[in-house]
Amino acid sequence: MAKLPPEIINAWKHREGPVVFTTVSDTGVPNSIYVTCVSLYETERIVIADNYFKKTKENLKHSSKVCILFLTDEKKAYQLTGSFRYVTEGLLFDWMKSWNPVEHPGHAAVVIEVTAAFSGSRQLL
């Protein structure tokens, strides 16, 4: 598994606002949601807490790829795409539970293995 480039790690540290998380249904219909319970695990994976997924969770059953989009405090956009695992136990699930607000259920963690990263049209990974 490749580490994310330093530019992405630095941009993540300066991330502002929620992240847009996009999945695709089994019929090819995209669904995008805002997520705020999201974190970078080490320098390799993005972890999103499944607190209230419905359509997103259904899409994850039928898809192998996901996408996130985020802005920095300087309004620079980054897009990360990759494969994912939906985990309900283990190290990354427990880690997610450690930072997910207690008022949210944290049903599972979506662990994204980033395979491509862009800033505008410029490919970074």
Instruction: Read off the pLDDT of residues 12-22 as tens digits, 9 standing for 90 and up.
Output: 999 999 999 99
Which backbone phi and psi does 4 adopt, to 5 degrees? -70, 150
The answer to whether 23 and 60 have CB atoms below 8 angstroms apart is: yes
Greatest alpha-carbon span in the chain:
39
pLDDT of residue 72: 98
Res 90 pLDDT > 90: yes
This prediction's pTM:
0.95
Distance between CA atoms of 118 and 109, rounded to whole angstroms? 24
The beta strands (E) that lie in 1-125 are given as 15-24, 30-35, 38-41, 45-50, 66-72, 77-87, 108-119, 122-123
Write out pLDDT tens, residues 94-111: 999 999 999 999 999 999
Show the tokens assigned to 96: 């997610």
What domains appear along the chain, each with residue ranges and CATH number? 6-123 (2.30.110.10)
Please report the pLDDT score of residue 3 as a whole number: 87
19-59: per-residue pLDDT in tens? 999 999 999 999 999 999 999 999 889 999 999 999 999 99
Q: How does residue 1 score in pLDDT terms, banded at 50, 70 and 90?
A: low
Mean residue pLDDT of the chain comes to: 96
**Residue 80 near residue 64 (C-beta atoms within 8 A):** no
